[in-house]
Chains A and B, each alone.
Chain A
């Protein structure tokens, strides 16, 4: 987690020569304006995010049914996850399937569509951005996909395929194990132009134009060279932001499969880790166990984040 800054320097080198404690305190006093400026955000963040996350971490070592006082269980929840919970193992597999496919793909889609839009004349950029952001803007309109993939012969896809004679009976697109994962992946990709897409759009806008002039003089000949030699290196911070958001999205898949494929899904074929958390937290009221799963998921995401941060830094 320490290597996210491409340009982070060690605080103050002289600090090493003197007794550490006194110096940190002095440093802190010297920077009191900085602390004052971080304070409004950090205080609220501590109260409403850090404390609940820590509490949830502690709860992961307990049995907590939301009615009685939590009962200490030690590592039991974690043991149970790997030794006694077969469905959790399925959930890992399903989540990885989603994460490995939708994560990188949706990241590339976000980046390239932001770039395409940036190539358009400025007047229509805002409009095109809205068109592409529409699925995220409209909240849960993804439910219209149920009409298209509906399992009876009146479903849009089924009715056309039957009419053209490709099928001789309707397919249960959303509940058949052979199809539902693929279909949810398509819908997830359709939904993927969200937060990181807008961040990339803004990233392209804050780029220093003089770099492109310089590039043209230095012999850059087409837009791909421009993209890889100028844009990508200068957009690294935004690319890192996008990566973290896509990791959270790809590993956190759950709401869409639940809404479209049903909960629980056929043979748990759509049971992701997030759904598993939902199952234990909001259905069975085993908050301690749900917290343990959430914690493991967060750790996996952090490891992935660190891996990607290394990859992005090695590029230059």
Chain B
């Protein structure tokens, strides 16, 4: 947890004594450089803007519990008069009796999302670490390519990408979904930037003197020290791969990913827009679809907030 810095402000105590006082005496201690008024201003602003930001999340939760007649009230209401579970029940009935069982779609999505997240974090952080901390010919060139790719707008790449995958025989396999996402340039860029300040060179040297090989250094020393960074790219990877539709790479029914399959079943996409008669159900579906990313997000974020205390070594 964030270690707040305390120092004694009580002027009545002589300075030499103040330094010797035990840390426990918090009543006489203050966080460094923080004013009460500033704290108030910050919290006030956060709450005000926070309400504004959280509105869509709240709204999509509310809508899932609205009966059909309330869903179509215009202008839309931000509360429910008679909440109902009908939407969820109807979702259950509709997915009960499918040609390809729902569990298969769930497996497809969970399997691809988990493998993408894991492989992306490992590959991107390994490459990011090496590009920042090792000196070898071509590292700058590689990194510039990654940055350039990040700025290239995706739309026009779809066809060449399809051709590449078709040539490799990957269309309609999990590979088509997993492999391109594993090498997403965003993660590498973020990891490399974090290596600059979070990993002192002396730490790496010390590990090498102790006989660790490069891979051990990476896994045992670097990764724990950039935990906030890799948890952050894990959030991005999981979120985007969970919402991946498989696009033009997946065609056979049993290989389809959850967002596509649900879109077909409920004649709507996972965002809740689509067929009017099933608006309620698609609201329920979109609520259920955002639960895994939210859970993943909350777990990672609370871990990010906890990593600080062991900050390695100081030069």
Contacts and interface: CB of A to CB of B under 8 A. Distances in A.
16 contacts: A1-B147, A42-B142, A45-B185, A49-B183, A52-B161, A52-B164, A55-B160, A125-B301, A131-B53, A143-B271, A147-B76, A202-B229, A212-B5, A237-B193, A237-B194, A277-B155
Given A24-B137, A48-B164, 10 more contacts: A12-B135, A34-B136, A34-B139, A38-B139, A41-B183, A50-B149, A144-B59, A201-B304, A202-B232, A213-B5
B74 interface: yes
B232 A199 contact: yes
A35 interface: yes
A134 B271 contact: no
Nearest to B193: A237
Contacts of B56: 134-135, 138, 141-142, 144
B164 A47 contact: yes
B233 to A, nearest CB: 9
Nearest to B144: A1
B180 A48 contact: yes
B308 interface: yes
A51 B194 contact: no
A2 interface: yes
B45 A206 contact: no
Interface string B293-310: 110011001101101100
B182 interface: yes
Nearest to A31: B136
B140 A5 contact: yes
A27 B47 CA distance: 55
A21 to B, nearest CB: 11
A226 B33 contact: yes
Nearest to B182: A44
B155 A278 contact: yes
Interface string A110-122: 0001001101101
Given A51-B160, A234-B197, A209 B5 contact: yes
Contact of A248 (B134, B140, B150, B164): B150
Contacts of B213: 33
A209 B164 contact: no
A120 B33 contact: no
A101 interface: no
A167 interface: no
B194 A203 contact: yes
A206 B194 contact: yes
Given A119-B39, A281-B155, A130 B298 contact: yes
B71 interface: no
B152 interface: yes
Nearest to A11: B135
Given A226-B33, A237-B196, A2 B57 contact: no
A130 B214 contact: no
Interface in B260-304: 270-271, 273, 290, 293-294, 297-298, 301-302, 304
Nearest to A241: B193
Please report whether the interface of chain A is mostly helix, strand, loop or mixed according to DSSP.
helix
Contacts of A131: 50, 53-54, 57
Interface string A290-313: 110010011001100100000000
Interface in A43-74: 44-45, 47-53, 55-56, 59, 66
Given A117-B46, A142-B56, A247-B151, A40 B126 contact: yes
Contacts of B202: none
Given A37-B126, A134-B57, A154-B74, A44 B183 contact: yes
Contacts of A305: 147, 151
A205 B305 contact: yes
Interface stretch (B79-87, B91-99, B103-111, B235-243): B235-243
B308 to A, nearest CB: 5
Nearest to A154: B74
Interface string B1-41: 11101010000000000000000000000001111001100
A133 interface: yes
B232 A290 contact: no
Given A52-B160, A125-B305, A244 B147 contact: yes
Nearest to B54: A131
A81 interface: no
A183 interface: no
A130 B297 CA distance: 8
Q: Which of B130, B136, B188, B308 has the most CB of A within 10 A?
A: B136
- 7 cross-chain pairs, A with B, having the tightest CB-CB distances, nearest first: A44-B183, A55-B160, A31-B136, A141-B56, A52-B160, A237-B193, A202-B228
A248 B186 CA distance: 11
A18 B5 CA distance: 54
B93 to A, nearest CB: 25
Contacts of B194: 202-203, 206, 237-238
Given A44-B182, A208-B314, A222-B33, A139 B290 contact: yes
Interface string A7-39: 111011000000000001001100101110110
Contacts of A212: 5, 32
B50 A41 contact: no
B46 A4 contact: no
Contacts of B145: 45, 50
Interface stretch (A84-92, A170-178, A190-198, A263-271): A190-198
B43 interface: yes
Contact of B164 (A51, A116, A119, A213): A51
B190 A241 contact: yes
A9 B135 contact: yes
Contact of A138 (B142, B148, B235, B290): B290
Given A31-B136, A302-B151, A42 B127 contact: yes
